[in-house]
Structure 1
Amino acid sequence: MRRDLIFGVDIFKGSPRSKTQQKYALAIFEGGKDIKRYERISRFKLIRMVKERYPEILAVDNIYELLKDRKELLAFLKKLPYETKLVQVTEKEGLSKLAARYNISFNKRSPLESAMVCACLAKMGIGREVSYISDRTKIRVSRARSLGKGGWSQNRYKRKVHGMVKLKIREIKGYLDKRGVDYGLSIKKGFGGYRSGSFIVEDNIKNLSISSKRGCDVQVKISPITKDAMEFSKFSRGQRYIIVGIDPGTTSAIAILDLGGNVLRLSSSRNSSLSDMIRSISNEGTPVIVATDVYPVPSTVEKVKRDFNAIIHSSDDTPTDYKMDITRGYDCSNVHERDALFAALDAYKKFKNKFEKIEKETPIWIDSDDIKAAVLKGSSLKSAIHLHSPKKEDLEEKEEKSEETKEKEKDLQSIKEQIQQIREHNNYLKSTIEEKDEEIKGLKKYIERLKEGERRGIKREREIIIREKEIKRQGKEIFKLKKKIKSLSEQIDLYRKIKILESSGRFYPVKVIGNFNRDSILEFNNKMGIKSGDIVYLKDATGGGRFTADILIGFGIRAVMAGSKMSHMAKERFYKMGIPVFSAEEVVIKVSQRSLIFERVEDFGIIDRTDFDGMIDEWKEKNREEEERRKIEAIKNMMHEYKRERVI
């Protein structure tokens, strides 16, 4: 809301009760100057301009010349911003008599000039305010969309939305609790949270920094609770001039002082909009100075300054220690409030001497704050006092009370002298406090240096402990690696010996497989390869059967050496396929009898060619004899079976 912006309106054409659309004349005053006039605008355009420009006052001659009844008036008021006041300037007297009384001349037949007079009278604080808003507000929080029938993820989405509604209700509740406002709350629970919630707040909507908004999942609607009957109350602009310090950002803070340097408000909030900030400031008064501790001036601060037609004050590169000294003794919740308060206090400090001079030279019957505001906006002290001096009829009334005024002036002079003495004593106390503060600051720095030295010592000790642990860990790792290197070196030496023996032509290579099962055989084949004519050594020959034997047979191996006992089925299968199977005991016996050499390393080994060929020949001879024995046994069985059948 712009406190120095006033719209004056008069009907241009038509009657509120006629069927034809009414047209209006509009005069816009800003900063006390007639800046713009409009003829023949519709009600729709008038409302749109009010919403765009956000004036302090919408002034009319008679509201029932514009609107035909209470219902239409209420609908019109609801379309206006809550902060904009609808003022009827006339009461018992007509507009012409009222204008003559305040020495305003105009053409009675010109709607534009009538609108201009309405704006002038409203600026002077004349008229009655039309009010329908009570000091109670309704805030409703609900889902922003229907959840629908949904699918498999319906419950998850419902829980999310209800959780967001619950979170927003808690956020608003926290804000109201912080402000200390009385309220009632009704809640509808839902799956995973709240479906909706309604607050009835015992405060005027203008005082709440909450606005209606709609998000993806949650919507907030805020509306005033209307009075039972329309009220026409005495209109007063109630203008109070203030100094505003602003620290903009994600967390914005405002500090508001009167022109005497007293703190009226100090607050901060997250993600508040520019309109919320302007509304909060407007509720306290009209800023004449907008201050910030940042240079160049942020755009948010510049917009607030333009909105109130105030002057700007900025502080550049101010040390944090100095800010803390200036704001010491004030209750700042965070650094944002501290920076906003510093900016306001720094602005007041800059103009303090000028304000004191104005107070001394301003007559008792004139509000010195009005003169201060006028001087800050560029007027000279003399012209400002003249502008705010009472009119002739007011002076006649003052003369009748001159004796009483003289007595009051004497009392006031005595009070001013007492105030001056108190100020001098206060300055002495301040200087003493500043000396003590400097002493405390020095001691704090000394303590901080001691703490910093202690912190560095502790940090150094921790680093030494960490490094010692790392050295121990790496030592253990080195020992493990050395052990592994030694083992690998021994294996390499053995490999080398085996290769030398193999290359001499006196030995056969032997493929060493760990276990007699399908996985071990296939894994070895992928790693080392098994080909036709290979000799295979099974370290653990247990577990395999006929089908496992078929896998090795399929590779076309020449012979099998078993490191442990092999199953009968597997042995029988190798025997049928003409593949000899030698047990570990047989190999050992042969070693002792014929000096059979068999060496192995991991997956590979060698065996003496001559001795192994001899073992193969012996096996073949035994196999031939066994085969003949089996054939003779089979013939005997056949003859026995034949005789038995003949007897029967």
Structure 2
Amino acid sequence: MKEKPLLVVGIDPGTTTAYALLDVDGNIIGLHSAKELSVDALIAKVTSMGIPACVGCDKAKVPAYVERFAVQVSAKLFSPPDDIRIDEKRKLTKGFGFKNNHEMDALASAVFAYNRVEGLFRRVDKFLEARGKKELSNNVKELVVKKGVSISGALDLLAEPDKKETRIIKKAVEQKKLAEKDFIELYNELKKSEQDNKILKQQNRLLSDKLKKAEKKPVKKEPKTKPDERLEQKDKKIEILNKEIAKKDKEIKEKAAGLSNFNKILSEISTKLVVKKLKNLGWSEFQSKQDIIHKGNVLLVEDPAEFSKKTLAELKGLVEIIIHKKDIPTKFLDLGFVFVNAQDLGEFQETELFAFVNKGRFEEARKSRDLLKKIVQSYKKERST
């Protein structure tokens, strides 16, 4: 059975709805318009032709119709910062044929979305070609675009589905013990650590080769340089290389220990709450981690006293519970967050982006803080009446 193509979809909703379908090479494989076309009918038509990877529209404010389509087919949604102007649409659709303005708008939306992912598609193809895995191209692109998995991580998921850590996390997701987004982020961090360790080992091998050559290399006779000085220069070079190798060795051991710890955490994931980490509540720190923070997440903040009002405004409605290591400013108590002291949670493991807290200890601390919050609110209400 022939594999369905991966699709980039452009939609222009309205009384007359138009949709455009591009393949991963940017070729049009579908362009149609129809009156009174429901989202469900559109989904049936599009999925009969392929797998929607991403969806584009020409409006800065995404129409509900387009958003509903993207959510239901789990596709990545792209919208422009400002509405796409008519002259821009003409440029985007130049050389293509279409029957009406609705189809032009849908096609412009599809080309806009395609331009956002074209470079990524090329990187996937280059990566897979170098590893002799071109047959997995569509599957890898789908995981990378729709789920946000790294390219190497997507390949591992597809090529090595029985790998221990892959099975552990997938099982946790299937049993609803771990959200899919957290699975993607955990998996990406794991793959990054593995890749970092691989690079360190490669660097160490190169340094070891340099050291061997330096040790074997005869001392060159240079004018105005005494034999003892030349020997001393060689010894210094060897000493520097040895220090670099020792440093890399230490980094490799630390990375290996980190990976071992990560795998241990994954094996116990069903008893853990996955918490997102921030060093502080400053705006630059929040921006650097914004992609991994989702509605309903719990945060672990090292130093909440370093903060930005902009960050606090962004977190309101997104996060309810903040675990803190250092003391929180007194004025934070009126912000509506539930603050839990990290000391009340016992020992917990951490990686660069995540902390893994015992669910039982967390629930006890949360209930205690919730009760305290209610008592304070009740007291304030009584004082104000």
TM-score tier by shorter-chain length is: 0.3 to 0.5
Please identify which structure carries the higher helix content. 2
Q: TM-score, normalised by structure 2?
A: 0.39
Between the two structures, name the one with larger relative contact order (CA 8 Å, sep ≥ 6).
Answer: 2
Q: TM-score, normalised by structure 1?
A: 0.23
| Structure exhibiting the larger radius of gyration computed from Cα positions | 1
